[in-house]
Amino acid sequence: MLFGEKKLIDGKTLCDMVISAANALDNNQVTINNMNVFPVPDGDTGINMTLTMSAVRALSDYDGTVSDCADKIANMVLRSARGNSGAILSLFFRGIAKSLKGLEMASAEDIAIALKRGTEEAYKAVMQPTEGTILTVMRVCSEKAVEKVAQGKYKYNPTALFSYILKTGEKTLAKTPELLPVLKEANVVDAGGYGFLFLISGMLAALKLEPVIANNATNTVQQQATFANFDTDSIVFAYCTECIIAKRKKYLGEGTATDFHDFVGGIGDSVVFVDAEDIIKLHVHTNHPGQVIEKALEYGELESLKVENMRRQHSNMIEKQSEDVESPAEIIPAAPEKEFGFVGVCMGDGIRETFIDLGVDQMVFGGQTMNPSTQDIIDGVSKTPAKVVYVLPNNKNIYLVACQAAEMINEKKVIVLPTKSVPQGISAMIAYNPDADEATNTEAMTEAIGNVRTAQTTYAVRDTSIEGIKINSGETLALVDGKIVCSDADEKKCLAAIGEAFKDASYLTVFYGESVDEARAEAAIAILKEKINSMAEFAVIPGGQPIYDFIVSAE
């Protein structure tokens, strides 16, 4: 809005600026993701920043004071914050809102001071701020902006001020590799700082009356299968039955179980039947899984067996989709029925079931590539019928968001445990004693977290070098306690590196992912056993997690 020669920012302009910023992030989220140091497929900085800012698009028709607009932005971004970068952004905007409190309009000087207040809020929330990250870019930009307006420059010209901030940010970002050696080695700048400059450029574009338009806005509803399109009763064969049979001596050889194949085909459909040299592997949808098992035992011993009720699964899917389309009404906190409760975060049905078996009340879907929002954590806590609720983030990139959620909850006491991986979360749950008090449990679970080590395998998404290890795109990566220890085209070498790192372990749990079949999982376990103490115990669980083919816990 123009007043003589003075240009001030009103609420409508500020909303236009942040919407343009959100669109700039959206349009460049893949580019930002690719700037992550680790070349793993869960480099999700761009996704987290985009999803954090996406809620502000609801302010497209807002026309009020700059103070009210800043408050609305801060509240929206705080509730939708995802990942460390998103949490930092939400705190940044919360500081801005505090600084602009009570103002009808804001000058460039007001904005510069607000940016500095936002940066200070972000720094305070990070326990050990690291220079060379988004925080550095924020800090230098805001400090230089305040210096300029203090000198009388850009005081009433927000457009010129933001042009200066963007140039300052670009120079600062270029220096981040000098502050963080790992960035220099990987030949990248900080991904969060890179994303922050897209945010600033989007705000500047709006000030120039050329706001960024989203190419593919993240708030667009994506098409998906609707499980309610057919009746549960229309599922003819209810039980998905799978098993592997080790053949008896008389049936050794290929093609010796044709009668069994014909039998299975006669009592079901979707038959997959492998009649190999020494095993039979079958999959069938049937109403008589007992008959399949009984017949299987004639040919040998069962090595594995899985029977799932598809009608019940379908009903659950319909129920879940019904819940998903309900209006996001505020959840009424569950009345406390017990002293302690738990909320966990994970991806993969097998991992989820493990946590539930250990006593976790509410599981929030999320993890690598899909960090839950602050509101998702708040909802999980609200649904938990306990006085004290422990939250297990199970990912270092979710911890800060979980802490923000805890601060926003008043009706229950919330304790966020510093679990950075699924194995740490499971160890914490095993250490929990329902008969102990809060202090004793918190201490015991925290100690258990420190006693577990975690390894993972995934694949490289680009060529790079990390701590002297040359990495080629497409290779298998092995990470132990967050550090890359092996990159090789042969997965076996990476598994062997994990085994070597855990050679003195006494107990190991291996979760294998959604893209791993049982044969590959068995081969992986065999490689690990070759390297690890022969007395070590192993537990193998089909975790169903994406991205990471194997997650290994060692104690």
Superfamily of domain 327-450: Phosphotransferase system, mannose-type IIA component (3.40.50.510)
Work out the angle between the directed axes of helices 399-408 and 108-125 (0-180°, nearest 10): 100
Residue 171 has what pLDDT?
Answer: 96
CA atoms within 13 A of residue 328's CA, in its CB half-sphere: 6
pLDDT of residue 432: 93
Phi-psi region of 12 (alpha: psi -120 to 50; beta: other; left: phi over 0): alpha
- Is residue 86 predicted with pLDDT exceeding 80? yes
| 457: exposed, middle or buried (Cβ count in 10 Å: 0-12, 13-18, 19+) | buried
- How would CATH label the architecture of 227-313? 2-Layer Sandwich (3.30)
Residue type, 177: P
Buried-state track 360-376, b at ≥16 Cβ within 10 A, e below 16: bbbbbebbbbbbbbbbb
pLDDT per position as a tens digit, 306-349: 777 765 655 554 455 444 434 344 566 777 889 999 999 988 88
Q: Is 296 helix (H, G, I), strand (E, B) or coil?
A: helix
How is domain 453-554 classified at the architecture level of CATH?
2-Layer Sandwich (3.30)
Q: Where in the chain is the domain with CATH 3.30.1180?
A: 453-554
157-167 residue pLDDT tens: 999 999 999 99
In this predicted structure, the answer to whether residue 253 has a pLDDT above a threshold of 60 is yes
Mean pLDDT of the chain: 86
The DSSP-derived string for 142-199 is HHHHHHHHHTTSSTT-HHHHHHHHHHHHHHHHHTHHHH-HHHHHHT---HHHHHHHHH
CATH topology of domain 2-207: 1.25.40
Residues β-bridged to residue 423: none
Q: Which of 269-278, 381-390, 499-508 has the lowest mean pLDDT?
A: 269-278
| Lowest-confidence region among 40-49, 74-83, 185-194, 277-286 | 40-49
- Give residue 289's pLDDT band: very low, low, confident or very high (50, 70, 90): confident
Bridge partners of 392, per DSSP, are 344
pLDDT at 454: 94
| Residue 278 tokens, joined | 């020494």
**By the 8 A CB rule, do 39 and 464 touch?**
yes
| pLDDT at position 228 over 50 | no
* pLDDT tier, 546 (very low <50, low <70, confident <90, very high otherwise): confident
Higher pLDDT, 99 or 261: 99
- pLDDT (tens digit per residue) in 467-506: 788 889 899 999 999 899 999 999 999 999 999 999 999 9
pLDDT of 233 higher than 60? no
Look at residues 417, 398, 418, 502 and name the one whose alpha carbon lies nearest to residue 456.
502
Mean pLDDT on 361-381: 83
DSSP per position, 469-509: EEE-TT-EEEEETTEEEEEES-HHHHHHHHHHHTTT-SEEE
Cα gap 417→341, rounded to integer Å: 13
Q: Which residue has the tokens 């203090």?
A: 150
Farthest-apart Cα atoms in the chain, separation: 98
Residue 327: predicted pLDDT:
39
Neighbours of 233 (CB within 10 A): 8
Q: 324-339 in b/e burial notation, b at 16+ Cβ within 10 A? A: eeeeeeeeebbebeee
Where does the chain hold its CATH 3.30.70 domain(s)?
227-313
Confidence band of 230 (pLDDT split at 50, 70, 90): very low
Q: What is the pTM of this model?
A: 0.69
